[in-house]
Amino acid sequence: MSEQTQKPDDTTHFGFRDVPKGEKQKLVGEVFSSVAGKYDLMNDLMSLGVHRVWKRYFVSTAQVKRGDRVLDLAGGTGDIALLLRDRVGDSGSIVLGDINGAMLRVGRDRMTDMGKVGGFEYVQMNAEKLPFPDASFDLVTIAFGLRNVTDKDAALREMQRVLKVGGQARVLEFSEVKAEWFKPIYDFHSFNILPKLGKLFANDSDSYQYLAESIRKHPPQDELKRMMGEAGFARCDYKNLSAGIVAIHTGYKV
C-alpha cells in the first residue's frame, strides 16, 4: 500500500459516500450554509410539522429547572433553546452552539426579532472540542445534530466532560424505524419526496438527499445507547417516538 492510499480508518461517511475524515466537516458545513435560510420551513414540510411536537416533548421531559445553565449543541435556528428558555427562567442561561456560522446567525436573528435577548449566548464551536471547562452545565442537549458530527464518540465524551455531576445529556435524533410495514413508506418519502421538496422550496435537492442518507448511516438506538455508556454516561436509556423515526437518548454524569 502506498503512502497516498486512503486507509479505511481515515475515512468516514458523508451520506452514502465515503470521504476523508478531514473533509466531512467542510461538506456538512456547505449543506447547512445552503439550507440555513429555509431550514425551519423545510423541517415543517419534511415532517408535516411533527418535528415541533418531538422538540416540545424533548424539552418538556428534560431534567432542567430554573436557574440552570444549559448547552444546546447544534442549536441551529434556536428551536430547542427557545423552548428551554422558559424552563430555566430569568436566573438561568442557555448557550446556543453550532459549528455553522450561517445557522447560528439565523438563530440569533430569530431570537432578536422575537425580543428574546437576555439569557442567551451564541458560540460557534465544534462539538468534538467544546470550549468550556469541566462541569460547566446542568444540561447538555443536541437535537438533529449528532448524525452530522464526524467523531460522534469524541462529541459524546465532550458532552459528558462539560456536565456537572448529576447533570443530564439528551440526544434527539432520527433513528431506526421499528415497524416493518412502515419502512418502505418512510424510505419512499425520504429518497423520493424530500429531495423534490428541497428542489422546490430551497432550490437544493442535493442537501436533502444527503440528509436522508445521513439518517440511515446514524447508529441505531441500541448502538447509540452503548456509545453513550462508553463515553462515561450512567443510566443510559432511550425512548422511541413515532415508531422509531426519532429517538430520545438520555444519560447522566455521576
Q: Do 159 and 176 contact (CB within 8 A), yes or no?
A: no
Q: Can you give the pLDDT at residue 253?
A: 98
Q: What are the tens digits of pLDDT across the range 152-196? A: 999 999 999 999 999 999 999 999 999 999 999 999 988 888 888
Q: What are the tens digits of pLDDT across the range 36-71? A: 666 676 677 777 789 999 999 999 999 999 999 999
Q: What are the tens digits of pLDDT across the range 6-43? A: 445 688 876 777 878 877 777 676 666 666 666 676 67
What angle (nearest 5°) sits at the alpha carbon of residue 111, between those of residues 110 and 115?
Answer: 120
Q: Can you give the pLDDT at residue 228?
A: 98
209 band by pLDDT with thresholds 50, 70 and 90 = confident
Residue predicted with more confidence, 161 or 208: 161
Residue predicted with more confidence, 42 or 112: 112
Q: Which fold has domain 47-176+219-252?
A: Rossmann fold (3.40.50)
Long-range contacts, stretch 58-64, CB < 8 angstroms, 24+ apart: 58/141, 58/143, 58/170, 58/172, 58/248, 59/83, 59/84, 59/87, 59/141, 61/248, 62/87, 62/139, 62/141, 62/168, 62/170, 63/139, 63/167, 63/168, 64/88, 64/138, 64/139, 64/168
Per-residue pLDDT at 212 exceeds 90: no
Q: What percent of the chain has pLDDT over 90?
A: 61
Give the lowest-confidence range in 32-46, 90-104, 144-158. Answer: 32-46
Rounded Cα distance between 65 and 92, Å, is 8
Mean pLDDT of the chain: 88
Rounded Cα distance between 231 and 228, Å, is 5
> What cell numbers appear for 80 in the block?
430547542
Rounded Cα distance between 73 and 76, Å, is 8
Among the listed residues 116, 115, 122, 69, the one whose alpha carbon sits nearest the alpha carbon of residue 92: 69
Q: Can you give the pLDDT at residue 7?
A: 43
pTM of the model: 0.86
5 band by pLDDT with thresholds 50, 70 and 90 = very low
